[in-house]
Amino acid sequence: MALPALALAADIPDQGPEQHLLYPPEQIAWQPGPASVPAGAQFAVLEGNPTEAGIFTMRLKLPDGYLIPLHWHPGVERVTVLSGIVYLGMDDSHAKENAQRLAAGSYTAMPPGMRHYALAEGETVVQLTSVGPWQLNYVNPADDPRR
């Protein structure tokens, strides 16, 4: 069983960075977006390029009460909560009561196609690692801010 996984891993380009990457918090370049999430979030790409093939790592900064409505990704999404709280739900209620509470230090890895929503409590920073090109597909097309 391990051989197919190794073969798949070989298809994912990961040469690593060309040089040592080091980001003290005060040097992280936050910018609005990304465009695939509702207005109000900020993001910073730490490694790779989410729009291209290959492994990337980025951070998302979400204000209190921020909601990313029910959506899914075609690739694995690995998320570490660095600060604040994320409520991760799997139904279309978008309710905190129906979601799992992920406090700072929590980690989750979601398989491709898993429908989920995220709700922030307090200013929240998460670190996301995946394989690009990163895609976010909303279950309800009306929730997509790119429309």
CATH of domain 55-140: 2.60.120.10
- Please give, one letter per residue, the 3-state secondary structure of 76-123: CEEEEEEEEEEEEECCCCCCHHHEEEEECCCEEEECCCCCEEEEEEEE
pLDDT at 2 over 80: no
| C-alpha to C-alpha distance for 59 and 63, rounded to whole angstroms | 13
| C-alpha to C-alpha distance for 103 and 32, rounded to whole angstroms | 24
Specify the 3-state DSSP secondary structure of 8. helix
| C-alpha to C-alpha distance for 4 and 87, rounded to whole angstroms | 34
Which of 94, 81, 93, 90 minimizes the C-alpha distance to 122? Answer: 81
Q: What is the mean pLDDT of residues 92-113?
A: 97
Alpha carbons within 13 A on the beta-carbon side of 53: 6
Averaged pLDDT score across all residues of the chain: 92
Spans of all domains in the chain: 55-140
Tens digit of each residue's pLDDT (9 = 90 or more) over 56-98? 999 999 999 999 999 999 999 999 999 999 999 999 999 999 9
* Percentage of residues of the chain with pLDDT beyond 90: 85
pLDDT given for residue 24 in this prediction: 93
pLDDT at 48 over 80: yes
pLDDT given for residue 39 in this prediction: 98
pLDDT at 107 over 60: yes
pTM to 2 decimal places: 0.88
Confidence of residue 6 (pLDDT cuts 50, 70, 90): very low
Helix (H) or strand (E) holding 124: strand 116-132
> How many of the other CB atoms lie within 10 Å of CB of 134?
20
